Amino acid sequence: MFRFQLKANSRRLFNASHQIRSVSKKVRSSKVIGIDLGTTNSAVAVLEGNKPKILENQNGDRTTPSIVAFTKEGDVLVGTAAKRQSIINHENTFYATKRLIGRKYNDDEVQKDIQRLPYKVVEHANGDAWLQTTIAQGLSYSPAQIGGFILREMKRVAELQLAEEVKNAVITVPAYFNDSQRQATKKAGELVGLNVVRVINEPTAASLAYGIGGKDKNNGIVAVYDLGGGTFDISILDIEDGVFEVRSTNGDTHLGGEDLDNILVEFILKRFQMKTGIDLRQDKIAVQRIRQAAEKAKIELSHVKSTTIDLPFITKTESISIPLTEEELDNMSADLIERTILPVRKALKDADLKVQDIDEVILVGGMTRMPKIRNTVENFFGIKPTTQVNPDEAVALGAAIQGAVLSGEVKDVLLLDVTPLTLGIETYGGMFSPLLPRNSTVPCRVTQMYSTAVDGQSSIDINVYQGERPLVQDNILIGKFKLTDIPPLPKGTPQIEVMFDVDADGILKVSARDKQTGKKSSITVFGKGGLTDEEVKRLVDESKQTTEQDQVKLNFLKLVNNLELIVFDTEQALKEIESFVDTTQADTLKRKLITVKKMIDDARKGDLLDQDLIKAAQEELQEEALQVIQKAAERSKAQRKAKD
């Protein structure tokens, strides 16, 4: 394991307006479209005149279902066409794949989804979750490839409407997407020939739509509450004179309308089983019909007080007819809605704001049409949420505005987004050295100087983590690489410059350079999949809940590190003065050093020794070393005097 010692620190933010100018030179050749690649539905928009405009698909719809199907005839269906045949071709019809993008097959949330999905999810060679068809000998696709088919359809819609080729696009992602998920989304666009000029956070995009498409020149502190089909985000922005600065962001990458659909499906299945004694859970076609009926009922109850779920002949002899009221739906959704409030509280705290400081609340995502959600948000903030921008369209409209900013069409808007989690590296003793705190404005770059902690060390393993805890064992490893050919010098001598570079898409590049030789190594970090609810809770919540426990571990490691440094200094001093040291004293000190080094080794292996024991060993070693040094100094002085 590589060990670092902190030497110095420097930080420099990029000039965001310079980046906009450099991007605009590359995209002037054509329109920049904005695409909201949603879990349930997707939309595409473009700036026409001074206003963003949603581009309708060939059916005249302003949104397109995020569904892709493969037929036995070899056709690929996207959108409404795919949705229409999903019941009879459920094994080859893929929906809600955004929840799987950039995730590992073994993730807890993926395993939960697998139990409910009618199609097959398999583990790819790299450990990612992929989707497998039952045709063409079980052909498999990554979630990014499925996203690519949807993006290609959005590109086609735009080209038909604009009557010109479209090459450039801004694509949105949930604010809490990690590096792997952002990279996968960007790759999906590139797979279908799009030049993805920017990946931006969904709530941030929505705020742009509100700021330009809503009131004239909005100024103030704005909260964007974004609850869509598969994810939840909350962002706090400071909007002033065309500058949209994100103060903080939080969320849950596995919470949305799909979860309420799952609850409704289970409710219907239980009601039917109670009535007939028939369990339909293994009947994939029946479950798919129930899912579509559940989604339809959920949407209807956003504007009526009651509805009936009717499914004739769900079996050969039985039908489903279940009345459902808004109140029943509210009770079913209560826990899900409550789960959104905790990230809201965290975002406010991170922004150093109180609820009363919020001037406006913007609702984004189809789920926010639900009266229960609107009432919950209004009660929490104490103000009526803004609904003047269509919640299904706001993200795509904002992406189109950002595209126009990047192409130079819009010149009086500047967007300053942030990183969702703290980024840093592992240092000596398993400690986490943060380089970039969460909610840092992007794009940004930060450098920090480190050195070796072992004599003669010629290579370094640099482990990159994201999280909020002081020890790396409690955070998430998102990447690692090696810096080699370091001159074998005494520890603390080499100067290793580590740089974190986060671009405007929120994608991280890490590099390390030996300042003496100029040798450099770097990676663009690909995370280990989407963060589950439990991981996000652990990364942020536990950083506060376990502060005392973390501090004990941190203090212990600092003691061990300091003791090891004293051992090193003592050994070096003993080499220099050995000719003046009494043999008996030298042997006693060496035995003491061996005992202390064993204690350090035990601590490095994970044995959490008594801190008083470590302190006592340090004091004893320092006292014995001091006595030896003093005696050696006296002998040296006496020898010099004798020579004189």
Rounded distance, CA 158 to CA 351, Å?
37
Q: Bridge partners of 308?
A: 323
Report how far apart, in Å, the C-alpha atoms of 291 and of each of 259, 263, 296, 524 are: 11, 10, 9, 40
Which amino acid makes up residue 415? L
Rounded distance, CA 428 to CA 385, Å?
49
Eight-class DSSP state of 461: E
Rounded distance, CA 133 to CA 113, Å?
17
**CB-based contacts of 96, cutoff 8 Å, min separation 6:** 39, 40, 66, 113, 117, 229, 230, 258
Rounded distance, CA 234 to CA 365, Å?
12
In angstroms, how far is the first alpha carbon of the chain from the final one?
Answer: 52
Rounded distance, CA 285 to CA 283, Å?
6
DSSP result, 227-275: E-SS-EEEEEEEEETTEEEEEEEEEETT-SHHHHHHHHHHHHHHHHHHH
Spell out a b/e string for 103-134, using b for 16 or more CB atoms within 10 Å of the CB, else e: bbbebebbeebeebbbbbbeeeeeebbbbebe
Q: Choose among 477, 474, 613: nearest CA to 554.
A: 474
Which of the residues are catalytic?
36, 98, 202, 226
DSSP strand E in 71-176: where?
A: 76-78, 93-95, 120-123, 129-132, 140-141, 168-173
CB 590 within 8 A of CB 571: no
CB 448 within 8 A of CB 435: yes
**CB-based contacts of 388, cutoff 8 Å, min separation 6:** 210, 214, 215
**CB-based contacts of 444, cutoff 8 Å, min separation 6:** 12, 13, 14, 419, 436, 501, 502
